[in-house]
Structure 1
């Protein structure tokens, strides 16, 4: 199995177009790396790829990558707006929980809009039930509980935010993808874990805390993740204000001192 980090930043990317914080200023000056919005592609054979979350940057991320289906971890715009840019497909195969599908259909209205351009085949995802993606590749979604405000008022059912465990049944390699998490969910040992690194501190955005936005601050996840038993742990979905985006920051050094990594766009791992 191959997994490619297509985008490692949170919504808005890094630098964010309207932000002049220390990190965005440094990235614009060349002291940091530009990053697109969070997304992942997985393949069992490097010929057929599955897209996890369709970011608004999907057009530049996938280019000529042959996509077979899209799997969503939630209905946030930075994870679903890219579906509209895939409207040229004759049929768009979409894996999502009932809660995510309902939000995109009855809440944001994104799916009815997309359906005016292409046919959508919804593959309902049940929590904790493995399903095949391709020969030699299985996937299982698990709930990532959140108290984040339900923006569209369509309900707060389990499955509003999920993580995915992807397994190569030939090699036994396992990857867990959790780009959004308000608390640390139960995660079984795995070879690679890609985990929510949106904010380093809970008060990074002032009164609007990381927790209120549905994210667990890195300063609260470093210890638990370093002792989780995963072979390799990388932070993804990193907000443009997060100092770990700067190679020489104390926060980056703290992450690396714990044996964890900061993902980059284009990073590929083989399991």
Structure 2
């Protein structure tokens, strides 16, 4: 299995266009040791030729330009992308669909009923694509036992589970969370038996999640915030990290504590907010992650299992 990180930042990227926090200002001025990042997305392949795209960020065109296997190479108009799995309906994970509108081949979209509802009502991206390339929508089962495959994606099998999280602001059920608003996915290479867990949005470690972590050779999880009050402390928001669906790295029941229970798995944080000190490669927080055997994803990172 080949996992390629197309983008590793949270919504807005790094630096964020309207942010003058220490990290963003420092990156622009070159006064901190850090690397720019686009908004989070990965692609996965079992044969190195055909790829499943997880989420389509607003930066998807640049991400495709930066990764040759996704580019046309077999016909005058084609792509290495054989399917798109949507983790949620958030803007930073779906807006890129509009950038993939060209052509006559329908986009193969895998998403839950809740995500499909949001993207055909509150933010009708899928309806808009119907006027261009069109889509074939495939349901994603959420029972944690029923797997699905993407035709053309050799040797790959996917198993999804619902995660607690709030739907986007434009969702018809914004204030009434439903199973399927956000999912985590276990990705299995049926040829090698290797498995990876992917959940860029993860508000808490629910009881049904540890068995999936235990299976995984690589755990790629939410790395949005360092502390639960990060945005409050900076005067940028009135809600805590967990209130908006992101389990912080530090503190009681934080990601460092959770991931320490899985010493054999490769552990990678993705979807990193521009305010998070772990973006600074020489920060004390980054060093603490390293001591816990946890990596920080970056654009262009390759993971081979």
| Shorter-chain TM band | over 0.9
Compared CA separation, residues 177 and 18, structure 1 to 2 (3 A): same
Given the alignment of the two structures, is residue 136 of structure 1 paired with residue 155 of structure 2, yes or no?
yes
Aligned to 2:82: 68
CA distance in 1, matches of 2:52, 2:127: 23
- Shift >6 Å, 4+ stretches: none
Q: Structure 1 residues 56-65 or 168-177, which shifts more? A: 56-65
1:105-184 to 2 correspondence within 5 Å? 105-127=120-142, 128=144, 129-133=146-150, 134-147=153-166, 151-154=170-173, 156-184=177-205
1:1-271 to 2 correspondence within 5 Å? 1-30=1-30, 31-63=33-65, 64=68, 65=70, 66-90=80-104, 91-127=106-142, 128=144, 129-133=146-150, 134-147=153-166, 151-154=170-173, 156-185=177-206, 186-187=209-210, 188=212, 189=214, 190-206=216-232, 207-219=238-250, 220-271=254-305
Q: Structure 1 residues 143-152 or 250-259, which shifts more? A: 143-152
Is 2:8–2:270's contact at 8 Å kept on the other side of the alignment? Answer: yes
Q: CA deviation at 1:156?
A: 2.6
Q: CA deviation at 1:202?
A: 1.0
Compared CA separation, residues 209 and 151, structure 1 to 2 (3 A): farther
Q: CA deviation at 1:114?
A: 1.9
Is 1:226–1:260's contact at 8 Å kept on the other side of the alignment? Answer: no
Compared CA separation, residues 116 and 20, structure 1 to 2 (3 A): same
Aligned-pair Cα RMSD in Å: 1.5
Give secondary structure in 2 for the equivalent of 1:140: strand
Is 2:162–2:183's contact at 8 Å kept on the other side of the alignment? Answer: yes
Q: CA deviation at 1:73?
A: 0.5
Higher Rg of the two aligned structures: 2
CA distance in 2, matches of 1:116, 1:148: 26
CA distance in 2, matches of 1:259, 1:148: 32
CA distance in 2, matches of 1:3, 1:79: 17
Q: Structure 1 residues 131-140 or 93-102, which shifts more? A: 131-140
Give secondary structure in 1 for the equivalent of 2:121: helix
1:92-117 C-alpha deviation (Å, 9 max, x unpaired): 00000111111111221121122111
TM-score by length of 1: 0.96
Compared CA separation, residues 109 and 61, structure 1 to 2 (3 A): same
CA distance in 1, matches of 2:285, 2:300: 22
**Which sections of structure 2, spanning at least 5 residues, go unmatched?**
71-79, 233-237
Q: Structure 1 residues 103-112 or 140-149, which shifts more? A: 140-149
1:68-125 C-alpha deviation (Å, 9 max, x unpaired): 1110000000000000000014210000011111111122112112211121100111
TM-score by length of 2: 0.85
Is 2:165–2:244's contact at 8 Å kept on the other side of the alignment? Answer: no
Residue correspondences, number: 271
**Which sections of structure 1, spanning at least 5 residues, go unmatched?**
none
Q: CA deviation at 1:230?
A: 5.0
Is 2:229–2:240's contact at 8 Å kept on the other side of the alignment? Answer: yes
